[in-house]
Amino acid sequence: MNAQEINFDTNLNVLPIRKATRGEDRMRYIGFPLGIVFFLILYLMPTPNGLTLEAQAAIASFALALTWWVTEPLPTYATSLFLMGLLTFFNGWPEHKVLGVFGLEVIWLNIMAFILSSTLVKSQLAKRFALWIGIRFGHSSLTILGAFIVLQLFLAPFIPATTARTVMVLPVMLVIGSIYGSTSGKGNNFGVNLFMQNLQGISIFSSGFLTGSTCNIVAAAFIFEMGNQKIYYSDWMIGMLPITLIVMSISWWLGPKYLFPIKQEDQQPKVKGGFKVMQKMLDDMGGFKLAEAKSASIFIFVLFLWATDRFHMGWFGFEISAVMAALIGVVIVFLPKIGFMKWNDADIPWHVMIFSAGAYSGGLALFDSGAARWLVGSVFDMVGLDSNLNFWLVYIIIISFAMYAHLFFTSKTMRSIVMIPIIIAVAQQFGFDPVSLALPAAFTLTWVITLPTNAKPNLILYSAGQFSISDNLKYGLTVSTIGVVVMIIAGFTWFRFLGITP
Amino acid sequence: MKRLIISNILLAMLILVTRSDAQQIHSINQQIKLAENGSADVHLIVSFSGNDSLGSFQVPFGFNEVTGLEAYLDHPGQAVDVQLVMDRTSPVLKFHLNPGSEPHKLYVNSKVEHFLDWEAAGPEEFKTYSWKVEYTNTLPTRIDSCSLNVLLPSGWNYHRILSSEPEFKRKDPEPPFTLFLVNGRANVSISRKSMEYLDRITLEFAFKNEQKPTILITVGVLLIALYLYYFRNLILKKAKVETIISNNNNKENN
């Protein structure tokens, strides 16, 4: 690849054309009928005890969509639209609510974040940073992958908004991927590892800090209110941060070595002339340009607002939400003379927005109809949690459930609201300390790493077209399972040492 | 005049205090069994304790007109004289009994002929009907706990609980109501603790016939068959390509 062929443009609004593998084609062929069969069984079966008809329709519709998202007989955005139709026509959620999802904060935040991300590309700041990081750490694929993991670790405590972290790093990742020969629709295993490890880093490192995500704070609040025990920032960090480091280290090693082995030729930058050319490109860029300075200033300003959200009330008398902070940045970007972008420069993947809207309408329908609460309760009933069970068996069941629950419930905060009180109640019923079960379960809430629909960052990264849903499923399930094993070992050792488990 | 008003207020307060002291309602469990014709069997279980001088006992009731009103004290053999009377503008059940100061249970059975007005209830979109049931404590006596159960006719099920009092807020860990089946019939139960004067317990719900269109099976099978036929290339095409490659390899080997 010549230096000129490196893709410094994100082009996220254009859907990449990927050639499916034989396995993917088979999945597609089976997936369509499977989704319909799931829907028919779940929708037509007698309404189970404790469930409303609306909740039953929501579960059936979501099961079909989940099957189709994973197997992709239809493009993911088409499945999302289909799901929105199913929810409406089968009365799983009212039409105005289904359509209203597109006006939710999450969609707006995505749109604003993509525009902000485009400023980094348009100003060429992303190119400069990518070239620098490539030259500094790019001598082997493993070191550059490691550099991104360290970057995510340092960003996590400062920027709680996972979308913000994603948007900051995405343009750099795209350029680095391109340098290593992995582009949208023509990806290689370096690209898969790069994107998947960042996806995991963003979510998993959020669990290392109490303020890493709203769901952590909600969980700590429930433990305090229902379990009467206060969880401090340091309790959370000392408990969970070492676990995140262990799991991310395993993932960093496992991915490129075994799950998605990087070919020898893909382990070095594919630019003809190697690092010298990259250095020359960096030199050719010259000094810091005005557009780069503007882009950096706006981005730092928005990051500042994101990072200081807890102080806004004291400073301004009101809180500037994440989406409004991004909106302020976007307005500045488009201002004549002050800004430096026009609408055509904004790279917004609308197909991902549609995909997100469908995924969120499905998830919200499950929550709003009471289906999510019913599913959680039913699973606990099904596995036969009763007071005769040994603590460690209950611990293993709860950790496993909490870890894999993200496959079905799209919102972390909702999962926190639904699951943590039930777990505290289970602990109290069996005479266990609520913290011993609820806190380890809360540690897993942000591990939303298995499907693009699990979280906003996943959707954003998926939009780059560098990995497929089955890649995500394979890597995500593996790391989630490793997470369960590490959490179980920690329960016997580290958590016990800290006094979390008995 | 001023003295008269003050003395009237004091008298009213005295009456209220005396009445609330005379009877103590520990719990009221109300069950409404809806029938397809719009009537409903209303059953009440009232757990209470009075005092030795108590000659009558009152319980708030939500319906002006009932038929077949009957009541028992503690067990079905011990019938109690009961009347539906108006206390100011609110209907109450007045029991004539002298149970002593021990805690007792009263079992009340009645039938409300026009409980559900089907025409007013719907049908709305997707053939759903909606209705609201409420129970208000219209007496100054505090009710320690109260529950309300609504059992739908056989073959009908709850589509959605539209609103309730106590209210279910988005961030509450659990709703104040629970849904469960009673002998195969859909039931919703809501409860609240400590009902003071004019406190309410309400349930507004949408419900519909459980019968689902079986034509969906035919449509589903048809869609599956069409897909498997028109997209068979997904499993055939690559196989052909692989056969060709394999044949070529064989030729090279030969």
Q: What confidence tens digit (pLDDT) does each residue in A346-403 have? A: 888 888 788 878 877 887 888 788 887 788 778 777 766 665 678 898 899 999 989 9
* Least confident span in A45-59, A70-84, B44-58, B150-164: B44-58
User: Are residues A91 and B235, on separate chains, in Cβ contact within 8 Å?
Assistant: no
What ipTM is given for this predicted complex? Answer: 0.82
A73/B186 CB distance under 8 A: no
A167 neighbors A116 (Cβ within 8 angstroms): yes
- Contact: B224, A91; criterion CB under 8 Å: no
Q: Which of A32, A52, A222 sits opposite B158 (nearest CB)?
A: A52
Question: d(Cα A361, Cα A356) in Å, to the nearest integer?
Answer: 8
Q: Chain-wide mean pLDDT for chain B? A: 82
Interchain CB contact of B183 with A (< 8 Å): no
Query: Per mean pLDDT, which of A35-39, A434-438, B26-30, B174-178 is the most reliable?
Result: A35-39
What pLDDT does residue B16 have? 47
Q: How much is the pLDDT for B6?
A: 62
B179 touches chain A (CB under 8 A): yes
Dihedral (Cα; A114, A120, A122, A124), 10-degree rounding: -160
pLDDT confidence of residue A287: 86
- Comparing A175-184, A487-496, B238-247, the range with the smallest average pLDDT is B238-247
Given this model, what pLDDT does residue B171 score? 63
| pLDDT score, position B53 | 61
- Chain B CB contacts of A222 under 8 Å are 173
Residues 6 or more apart in contact with residue A139 via CB below 8 angstroms: A275
Residues of A with Cβ-Cβ distance to B228 under 8 angstroms: 29, 32-33
Residues from chain A contacting residue B175 (CB–CB below 8 Å): 370, 373
Q: How far is B196 from chain A (nearest CA, A)?
A: 26
| Cα gap A319→A308, rounded to integer Å | 10
Interface of A with B (CB under 8 A): 22, 25-26, 28-29, 32-33, 36-37, 39-40, 43-44, 46-47, 49-54, 73, 91, 222, 226, 369-370, 373, 417-418, 420-422
- Is the CB of B236 inside 8 Å of chain A's CB atoms? no
- Burial class of residue A117 in the structure, from the number of CB atoms within 10 Å of its CB (0-12 exposed, 13-18 middle, 19+ buried): buried
Which tokens hold the place of A304? 């500042």
Interface test with B, best of A25, A44, A49, A53 (most B CBs within 10 A): A53
B163 touches chain A (CB under 8 A): no
d(CA A459, CA A448): 11
Extract the tokens encoding A411: 């919102």
Binned at pLDDT 50, 70 and 90, residue B54 comes out as: low
Number of CB pairs < 8 Å for A and B?
83
Q: What is the pLDDT of residues B61-105, one digit of tens each?
A: 888 888 888 988 887 778 888 888 888 888 898 888 776 677 888
- HSE value, Cβ hemisphere, 13 Å, CA-based, for B203: 26
Q: Do the Cβ atoms of A28 and B234 come within 8 Å? A: yes
Q: Of residues A52 and A322, which shows the higher confidence score?
A: A52
Say how many Å lie between the first and final Cα of chain A, rounded.
Answer: 58
In terms of CA atoms, which chain A residue is nearest residue B187?
A: A50
Compute the distance between CA of residue B97 and CA of residue B10 in angstroms, rounded to an integer. 29
Residue B14 has pLDDT above 50, yes or no: no
**CA A398, A480, A217 angle in degrees (round to 5)?**
60
Domain-wise residue ranges, chain B: 23-209, 218-242
Kindly state the helix (H) or strand (E) to which residue A190 belongs, with its residue range. Answer: helix A189-206
Could you tell me the two tokens for A253? 């090693």
> How far apart are alpha carbons A65 and A75 in whole angstroms?
11
The secondary structure of A233-284, three-state, reads HHHHHHHHHHHHHHHHHHHHHHHHHHHCCCCHHHCCCCCCCHHHHHHHHHHH
Q: Which of A38, A52, A98, A378 to mutate to test the interface with B (most CBs of B within 10 A)?
A: A52
pLDDT digits 0-9 by tens, A390-422: 889 889 999 998 999 888 776 677 677 778 877
pLDDT at A455: 82
Chain B residues closer than 8 Å to A22 by CB: 238, 242
CA distance A30 to chain B (A): 9
Helix ranges (H only) for A288-406 are: 290-307, 312-316, 322-334, 350-368, 371-382, 391-404
Is the domain defined by B23-209 classed in CATH 3.40.1350?
no
- Highest mean pLDDT of the ranges A54-68, A167-181, A285-299, A420-434: A54-68
Smallest CA–CA distance from A418 into chain B, residue:
B173
Chain B contacts of A46, Cβ < 8 Å? Answer: 210
CB–CB contact B173 A73 (8 Å): no
CB spacing of A33 vs B217 below 8 angstroms: no
Please, what is the Cα angle at B25 between B19 and B29, to 5 degrees? 140
Between B43 and A71, residue with greater pLDDT: B43
Is the confidence at residue B133, as pLDDT, over 60?
yes
Whether B160 and A52 lie within 8 Å, measured CB to CB: yes
pLDDT for position B15: 47
Of A37, A44, A421, the CB nearest to B174: A421
Convert the pLDDT of each residue in A129-152 to its tens digit. Answer: 777 877 888 778 888 899 889 888
CB count in 10 Å sphere of residue A108: 18
pLDDT, one tens digit per residue, over A453-480 is 788 788 888 888 888 888 999 999 999 9
Measured CA to CA, the distance from residue A160 to residue A182 in angstroms comes to 29
Give the mutation candidate from B178, B223, B234, B242 for the A interface (greatest A CB count, under 10 A).
B234
Partners of residue B161 on adjacent β-strands: B205
| B90-96 vs B79-87, strand pairing mode | antiparallel
Least confident among A65-79, A188-202, B138-152: A65-79
Is residue A6 scored above 70 in pLDDT?
no
pLDDT band at B249, cuts 50/70/90?
very low
Residues 6 or more apart whose CB falls under 8 angstroms from that of B251 comprise none
Looking at per-residue pLDDT, the higher value among B172 and A113 belongs to: A113
Of residues A388, A249, A306, the one with CA closest to residue A116? A306
pLDDT at B242: 46
Average pLDDT over residues A89-117: 86
